[in-house]
Structure 1
Amino acid sequence: MNVFIHHYRRLFCRWASLLFGLVSGLLICEGLAMGQETTASSIVVSKLSLGFNGVGRVGNWLPVMVHAEGLAATQEVRLVVTSSDPRGDQCESVVTAGTADANGSISLSGVLMTGRMDGIIRLSIQDASDVAIWQHVVTSRPYSSKTKADNAPAADLSSQTSPDVVSKMTFLRHQSLTLLTVGAPAGLEELAGRLTAGDTSRESLAVLSVKTIADLPTSRRGFDAVDVLLLVTDYSLTELQTQAVQNWVMTGGQLIVSSGETLPQLLQSPVGQWLQPEFGIESELLQTQDLTALQNYVPGASQLQTNRQNVPIVRLAAVQPRIAVNSINGPLVSRLSMGAGFVTFVALDLNAKPLNRWLALS
């Protein structure tokens, strides 16, 4: 009899331990999901960016950046991410590692990927002993096309204002065509229609955005979820960002650069130094009052009026690029193949008059 009692007592203890573990795990997950963040020390994360302003495409690498303070001087830490694969299994990976500066601050950047559009993404900063000193949960959901008008050619997700520490993500399907901008340049609706015209394998164009040029990725994989990158007015990419864009174009990315009065800033940037010999960009601007060729390029476009005012255009002297829009003053839109990708140069500023007031691009 004592043997049976002892046997059942051991079974009960095992079941009790199992139940305690399950309940504890659920409580921890619930606490993270509700509170979003747990901290085991005085560490403070002042910025967490994920994807592009909280938007990404499932099944692609997405940029992630964390800036933390309150660490010990020269403390070694690593950024660890746990996300789901397509089957729903949780996969943990070390995104990057680094050492805090003398003030106890550190910026960690890298890429992550998730195979599911809904669920949670766990991020943690771990010390050299693999102890989590900061944890954060980001909830994700799929983008629903029902939220946009049936006749809208683009899904503009840039209006989703994200806080400095992202806690929610919106995921696009893998078939979505994506365009990344800095801010909100003019003319995105017409561009969306032209890029997706005749491509039945793609969904409508989704416009992603970052707040500043500094928020652009610094590695090729950081652009993995981007099909088209549009640079207008601000070209102040770092050498590392420019190299990332070059590598991304060579592997199939499409870069569109627009410039006019901002030509001096372009030529002084690493991007301009890369593109200047490719397109034969000359330092002196031309002036024109006739943009009929550009108007005719857009089917059914309204009249592009200059009101007899001179419009600065960039002189493109290279003969290798294919001219998409030509004029009596030279090419207005040229395209050049680079590796598996393309670079398109628009010799007018899309953010300046008269293009920013052209009804065809509104």
Structure 2
Amino acid sequence: MTNQDPIEKEIALSSATPSVAPAVLKLDKCRIMADTEVKSEDFLLRWYGKPCFPRLDLSAITGTEKCGKTFFTSMLMACCAAKNVLELERIREEPLKVMWFDTEQSRQSTKSILTDRVYQLGDADEANFFVFNVRACSCQERIDYLVAGIETYKPDMVIIDNVSDLLSSINDPEASAQLIDLLMQLSTENDCNITIVIHLNRTGEKRGLRGWLGTEILHKAFDVYYCEQIEKTDVFSVEQTFTRKYRINEQMYYKIDDNGLPVITTKPNYQPRNQNGQYMSNKPEAYQIRSDKATTFNQKYIIHNDGNAQRPWEWNLRPLFSDAFGSIPSLPLENLQNQVMKLSEIKQPKYYEKVFDLAVGQRVISTTMDKHGRVVAVLIPS
């Protein structure tokens, strides 16, 4: 064999195919291109005609204590068996398999909810229900059992009530991120929707899910639903507060009948009384301001109601928020706050929060997630 010229050897080496790192080979399997074959979005339910609770993804239900979160999850489970439950509709004709992973309540309560509520709302086949009470288990046991249950029973919908009980601390950033990553992986690998229940922060602000875990959920969930009991009434409500795609503007109101089952009702016209027993205005607090205070704000966005002593003025929210957005389709909440406070000449952030909630309530704006996983506000077309 003749000795190869050093220059020829160098040329031969330079033209050889370079080796590819093993990590890059695995990464390439995750690559998305225009001709990549992926499953179309598959939603389990409709609510007010809009698709919701998708497979391969996470959903979240939140609210304060005793505000109807478990009532709403009962409706979801029942709708997996029945075609329609209140305003919910199952998309597929065939019943869905559902797994309820109860970490909070007693075994007696879990059974009562299943038999006296879920089964009464939907004509359920018990073979499609996998209900587990794991309140007596440790955090790690709950996670291990959850993984085993999903991988074994292959449910279409998994409800974890309450997801906080899977961690020893909901303010542990690393553990919170690892748990949400695990749930996302489970939903993807097992072709199911995982709906997680979590309480609100102590402030009760419906955009504030509890702890670091709540922050991770807001970043990763496809849609979020807020449950509430209307003050001083027997009426409960549910509304969608975040979504990545299908915005549901309607808010559901329901009561509990004599059989302990939810039934649709209308929004209550509750009028509060003051300390002397006199009726007060039931308008949001942003309206309940003395007329002389209106002069401190930009008059461009004020509507004066001459002769109306109860409500001498109010905010003209549509032009205010339209000007704040300008030509930008969505704004991070902090950016929107800065713009609105600057335009309106509102000085106090707490007062801005009231105006923001008023705009949400009047369907001027809504909140959702952008492609980067940030919570943003969007202007609802008039």
- In the superposition, the TM-score normalised over structure 2's length comes to 0.29
Greater percentage in strand: 1
Higher helix share: 2
> What TM-score results when the alignment is normalised by the length of structure 1?
0.30
